[in-house]
Amino acid sequence: MPLDAVCLGAVVRELESAVAGAHIDKIFQPGRDEVLLLLRGGAGSVRILLCASPQSARIQLTGKNRENPMTPPMFCMLLRKHLVGGRIASVTQTPNERVVTLSVDGTDDFGEPVRRALVLEAMGPRSNLILLDGEGRVTDCLRRVDAEKNPERPVLPGLFYRLPPPQKKRDPFSLPETELALLFGAAPPEARVSDWLLATFGGVSPLLCRELAHRIGGDADCRFLLLEEARRTKAPQVFSGFLQDVRAGRFTPTLLARGGEPVDFTCFPIAQYGAETAVETLPSFSALLDRFYGERELRRRMAQRSADMRRTVSSLRDRAARKRAAQQKELEATYGRETLRQMGDLITSNLHAMSRGMAALVTGNYYDPAGAEVRIPLDPLKTPQQNAAAYYKRYNKAKNAERFLTAQLAEGETELSYLESVLDALTRAESERDLLEIRAELEAGGYLRRAAKASKRQKPPAAKPLEYRSSAGLRILAGRNNTENDRLTLKTARKDDVWFHVQKQHGAHVILCAEGQAPDRESMTEAARVAAYHSQARAGENVPVDYTPVRFVKKPAGAKPGMVVYTTYSTAYVHPSLPGGAGDPT
């Protein structure tokens, strides 16, 4: 859900105590719609994320690292020019609106004190991030809105900033108790309580309206006309109690999940759902928003950045699959070649009874145990000897074709498997560096054209593998892509380390660093679970994972990146997961 005004207010309260008086040390723009402020102050270093994405607009403290582009965007450079070194004077929310203003005290180009403002409008498709000068004029913004797009409220450099027009709804926080009771009394009897709350009052989301309806009537879908008299009488009091909690700042960061996946969040305990929805309380709204948006945004961002590469590799994979299917069909056609040889033999044994111009030869088939007659088609323009030679030629051609097609099918199978492994690596990519390394791998293999002029600055350093710790403290390393798998298995790992890989599916090479000792059973199990987690079988149960000492893993000469063979292995059946105490991989 997008942040409603109530939940946004809870986040702002958390921000105020953490950032007031802090100085802006650095500014980054990790994504098109994201700006990250690194602050330092009396409470230490903190990071504020301002996101103006239509799907996830918000402001929050964040503990997650975000990869920054090698060249900062122009808007980021502008913010650095005007805000770095400034002091956060206040963080305020426009009453009952999804607009937050960071006021920053700094100096202008002449060294004079000036208060600028960074305004986040977290309003779904109309979300924006706007920098204002000391006079309240727009210096620039993430999304420029001209008069053609919005004639009533353009947002362009040089114009005075104006707040978005207020909603055509009542502000519940400004209504006296008596008027609130009158509104509830005049509610249409046939209306759903949640729908009426959403249509009447501003600042509250559909989720909160349904929860309030549940508190009022015991059912999120209840209607006014079906409420008992006592419940209808107490409805204004229930709503008033909710407003008092908001005014007093009695908030609870609440995450809703189904099947282990976060589906929604809010700032109050939720009781409207049944057992299929897990309700979890988190220690802060920063932790809540990092948890809810973190993995979702990573997948979306990587999908966007890898879209062209994924499209190219998918096309190559589909072409390889079609080629393999055609070759398989040709190979199957060669399986009947013995019949061609037998027909040549039958023609040869009947040359004395044949002459040019015959369209077919009907003779007894001595290859058939029953001796049945067989009809052999002939070319009337050829002599009997030439017809026999033609059948022998087709036989030899089919025999040679089987040999070549068998080799080509093996190569095609390797090619198809490799391309599918690249697609798997793209789904597991977590950073721009991962994508650049996969692209370099494809360029080296001739699948992608090399850039005409590749800047040295754009070549990333070799990435480190994902690293976890087992419960016994042993390191568990996992490759992010084929190139890293090769490096990890063939160069980084020691001969007595243990190698893991999901059986007969694509995934990461995983190394359990034995450190010269025999690994404990629990560490072995945890490493197998990591291998299953970083594979195509991540969503499975009882996933087979092969493991063997690294000395038994070899790379055939000329094999593609990530392709190895191994012997003397064992197999464990595990549930995909990461070590409990590992936290985020390093």
Q: Within 10 Å of residue 56's Cβ, how many Cβ atoms?
A: 20
- Return the pLDDT at 183: 93
Q: By three-state DSSP, how is residue 263 classified? A: strand
Instruction: Report pLDDT digits (tens) over 209-246.
Output: 999 999 999 999 999 999 999 999 999 999 999 999 99
Residue at which a domain ends, from 300, 330, 346: 300
Q: Are residues 180 and 277 in the same domain?
A: yes
What residues contact 161, with CB distance under 8 A and at least 6 apart? Answer: 119, 130, 132, 136, 137, 138, 155
The answer to the question of residue 412 being in a domain is yes
Q: Are residues 129 and 177 in the same domain?
A: no
Number of folded domains that form the chain: 4
| 535 strand-pairing partners | 507
Q: Are 84 and 25 in contact (CB under 8 A)?
A: yes
Cα 6 from Cα 27, distance rounded (Å): 28
Sign (positive/negative) of CA torsion 66, 69, 74, 80?
positive
The answer to the question of residue 440 being in a domain is no
Q: Are residues 124 and 30 in the same domain?
A: yes
52: CATH: 2.30.310.10
Cite the beta strand spans of 210-343 per DSSP E.
Answer: 254-258, 261-266, 278-281
Q: Are 70 and 146 in contact (CB under 8 A)?
A: no
Cα 478 from Cα 185, distance rounded (Å): 63
Q: Are 39 and 47 in contact (CB under 8 A)?
A: yes
Q: Are strands 113-121 and 99-107 parallel, antiparallel or unpaired?
A: antiparallel
Spell 512-530 as b/e; 16+ CB within 10 A means b. bbbeeeebeeebbbbbbbb
Task: Specify the long-range contacts of residues 184-189, CB closer than 8 Å, at least 24 apart.
Answer: 184/232, 184/235, 184/236, 184/239, 187/224, 188/224, 189/223, 189/224, 189/225
Cα 474 from Cα 517, distance rounded (Å): 10
- Return the pLDDT at 581: 41
Tokens of 29: 């723009």
The answer to the question of residue 565 being in a domain is yes
Residue at which a domain ends, from 300, 325, 354: 300
Q: Are residues 267 and 320 in the same domain?
A: no
Provide the domain limits for residue 294.
172-300
For every residue of 61-125, DSSP letters joined together read E-----PPPSS--HHHHHHHHHHTT-EEEEEEE-TTSSEEEEEEEEE-TTS-EEEEEEEEE--GG
What residues contact 381, with CB distance under 8 A and at least 6 apart? Answer: none
Nearest to 243 by CA among 339, 170, 148: 170
Q: Are residues 411 and 318 in the same domain?
A: yes
Cα 301 from Cα 295, distance rounded (Å): 10
- Return the pLDDT at 459: 56
- Return the pLDDT at 582: 42
The answer to the question of residue 307 being in a domain is no
Cα 554 from Cα 133, distance rounded (Å): 63
pTM: 0.62
Cα 207 from Cα 496, distance rounded (Å): 55
Task: Specify the long-range contacts of residues 489-492, CB closer than 8 Å, at least 24 apart.
Answer: 489/550, 489/553, 489/555, 489/564, 490/555, 492/465
Q: Within 10 Å of residue 532's Cβ, how many Cβ atoms?
A: 31
Cα 185 from Cα 219, distance rounded (Å): 19
Residue at which a domain ends, from 118, 141, 164: 141
Burial class (CB in 10 A: 0-12, 13-18, 19+), 151: exposed
- Return the pLDDT at 1: 55
Residue 305's H or E segment, with its range, is: helix 285-305
Mean pLDDT for each consecutive 10-residue tract of the chain (586 residues)? Answer: 85 90 94 93 86 92 84 95 95 94 93 95 94 96 92 94 91 90 93 95 93 94 93 93 94 87 90 88 92 78 82 92 92 90 93 92 91 92 94 94 91 91 88 85 88 53 84 94 94 95 95 93 96 92 95 93 93 90 41
- Return the pLDDT at 583: 41
For 426-452, give the secondary structure using H, E and C: HHHCCCHHHHHHHHHHHHHCCCCCCCC
